[in-house]
């Protein structure tokens, strides 16, 4: 017999592999952090494996762990605190002042823990983050068992252009060298905030470091019309053309939002291999715009999905995000066929992995890939009857229907119960910190 740490049985498995294989009555075996068998269940196959832990959920959909390509997880502390505002007013008059006053290591750590709990409960196993005190975010991710792309944020603060660029480049090198071998769950990334907060010299200096270490470079781009006009007035170029002129666009660059693009800019992104993180709910809530994702996909541009921070979403539920993506693009294009449920799920799994440069490791359920797997319990009024599992996930399910979450071969959620976190203690600490924000803000 072959020893396995975990075996899984269910109703149907959406592998999200290159052939989009769907397996009825699936059987999956996990050894350590890797998947060692994926196929249809039979007594013969099951008897080959001596399993330490058996998971059998008769009415269920098994799929890869979801990949959230853009978050600011500590911003759970600003959930609902400044809603229904235009983006620049929201940022400049509410979020930035709140961050200046309240963000510290303790707030970041407890906020990250709360966000990790929320993501685990709703099926996310990998998230790509950028915020202050990234070490505290890494600590929270490692404690909870989630996979994190840990972005170090940059803003230009010094007047001296060259000094600021040099200082940021040195900080970037130190950060990568510190975190690149800490844990298999942590991948460092560099995250200059945006072209309107970081000068081209800083952007280029940080990108050079990212290329030296073959590290992901992330930035917000073309989120609002106002931002596009700011960049045009400042540099005589649109945001995409500016980054292209700086030599920043390639397959290790992830652009967040990209709501306002012209046809030539789309071609520039396609030719350069640049990746895009689409954050539909955040863009809709702030009325900042909606990226032309169907057109980007047609041009071969890799697109992943993100929720953005909870101050602008207001949750980390990537299943709910998938439904919003489908509905939004059908509506604005007046075409119900413009994007289908299977395509949207692909963006939240395999394409999300490709956007982060990890498609060989995560994003699908295949032998030798990392065991990042979630299970949706379909024994629920909103999920029956079941005809099309893709449709059921995108148009009917939400994060509350996830019953099991496994990341890197470790069970993080079992029967809807968190296994690596003391949720009550987290909620107590979050409320303690929120009380001080509430007194000052409200």
Across the range 360-364, mean pLDDT stands at: 99
Q: End-to-end distance of the chain based on CA atoms, in angstroms? A: 62
Q: What percent of the chain has pLDDT over 70?
A: 99
Instruction: Break the chain into its structural domains and give their ranges.
Output: 2-64+372-417, 66-355
Task: Quote the pLDDT of residue 106.
Answer: 98
Q: What is the mean pLDDT of residues 299-328?
A: 98
pLDDT band, very low/low/confident/very high, at 245 (cuts 50, 70, 90) = very high
> Crossing angle of helices 105-121/134-144, nearest 10°?
40
Residue pair 197/223 in contact (Cβ under 8 Å)? The answer is: no
Which tokens belong to 4?
A: 């396995």
Residue 87 has pLDDT above 90, yes or no: no
What percent of the chain shows pLDDT beyond 90? 94
CATH 2.30.40.10 fits domain 2-64+372-417: yes
User: Given pLDDT bands bounded at 50, 70 and 90, which one contains residue 441?
Assistant: low
How many other β-carbons are positioned within 10 Å of the β-carbon of residue 159? Answer: 7
Is-contact 290 283, C-beta < 8 A? Answer: yes
Average pLDDT, integer, range 136-151 = 99
User: What does the pLDDT look like over 157-175, one tens digit per residue?
Assistant: 777 888 889 999 999 999 9
Q: 189, 32, 36: which is closest to 126 by C-alpha?
A: 189
Give this prediction's pTM: 0.98
Give the pLDDT of residue 442: 56
Q: How would you classify residue 112: left for phi > 0, otherwise alpha for psi between -120 and 50, otherwise beta?
A: alpha
Q: Which CATH number among 3.20.20.140, 1.10.645.10, 3.40.30.10, 3.30.360.10 corresponds to the domain 66-355?
A: 3.20.20.140
Asked if 316 and 119 count as a contact pair (C-beta separation under 8 A), the reply is yes
Per-residue model confidence as pLDDT tens digits over 5-36: 999 999 999 999 999 999 999 999 999 999 99
Strands annotated E in 228-270: 253-257
- For 207, 209, 217, the CA distances from 179, given in Å and listed in that order, are 18, 14, 15
pLDDT computed for residue 416 by the predictor? 98
Average pLDDT value for the chain: 97
User: What's the pLDDT at 88?
Assistant: 82
């Amino acid at each position: 017999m072959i020893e396995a740490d975990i075996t899984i049985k269910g109703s149907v498995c959406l592998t999200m592999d290159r052939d989009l294989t769907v397996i009825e009555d699936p059987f999956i075996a996990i050894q350590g952090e890797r998947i060692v068998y994926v196929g249809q269940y039979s007594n013969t196959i099951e008897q080959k494996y001596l399993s330490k832990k058996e998971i059998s959920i008769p009415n269920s959909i098994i799929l890869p762990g979801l990949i959230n390509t853009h978050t600011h997880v500590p911003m759970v502390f600003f959930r609902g605190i400044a809603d229904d505002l235009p983006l620049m007013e929201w940022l400049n008059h509410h979020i930035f002042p709140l961050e200046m006053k309240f963000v510290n290591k303790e707030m970041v750590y407890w906020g990250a823990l709360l966000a990790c709990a929320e993501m685990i409960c709703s099926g996310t196993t990998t998230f790509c983050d950028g915020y202050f005190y990234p070490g505290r975010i890494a600590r929270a991710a490692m404690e909870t068992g989630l996979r994190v792309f840990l972005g170090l944020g940059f803003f230009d603060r010094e007047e001296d252009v060259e000094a600021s660029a040099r200082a940021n480049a040195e900080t970037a090198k130190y950060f990568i060298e510190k975190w690149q071998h800490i844990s298999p769950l942590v991948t460092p990334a560099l995250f200059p905030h945006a072209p309107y907060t970081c000068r081209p010299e800083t952007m280029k200096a940080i990108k050079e470091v990212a290329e030296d270490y073959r590290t992901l470079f992330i930035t917000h781009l073309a989120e609002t019309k106002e931002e596009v006009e700011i960049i045009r007035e400042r540099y005589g170029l649109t945001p995409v053309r500016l980054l292209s002129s700086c030599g920043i666009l390639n397959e290790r660059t992830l652009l967040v939002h990209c709501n306002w693009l012209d046809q030539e800019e789309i071609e520039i992104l396609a030719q350069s291999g640049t990746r895009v993180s689409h954050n539909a709910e955040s863009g809709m809530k702030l009325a900042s715009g909606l990226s032309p994702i169907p057109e980007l996909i047609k041009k071969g541009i890799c697109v992943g999905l993100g929720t953005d921070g909870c101050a602008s979403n207001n949750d980390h539920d990537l299943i709910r995000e998938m439904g919003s993506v489908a509905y939004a693009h059908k509506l604005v294009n007046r075409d119900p066929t413009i994007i289908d449920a299977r395509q949207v799920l692909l963006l939240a799994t395999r394409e999300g992995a490709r956007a982060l440069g990890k498609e060989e490791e995560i994003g699908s359920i295949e032998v030798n890939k990392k065991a990042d797997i979630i299970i949706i319990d379909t024994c629920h009024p909103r999920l029956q009857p079941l005809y099309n599992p893709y449709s059921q996930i995108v148009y009917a399910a939400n994060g509350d229907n996830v019953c099991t979450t496994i990341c890197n071969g470790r069970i993080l959620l079992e029967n809807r119960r968190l296994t690596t976190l003391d949720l009550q203690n987290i909620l107590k600490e979050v409320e303690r910190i929120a009380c001080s924000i509430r007194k000052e803000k409200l």
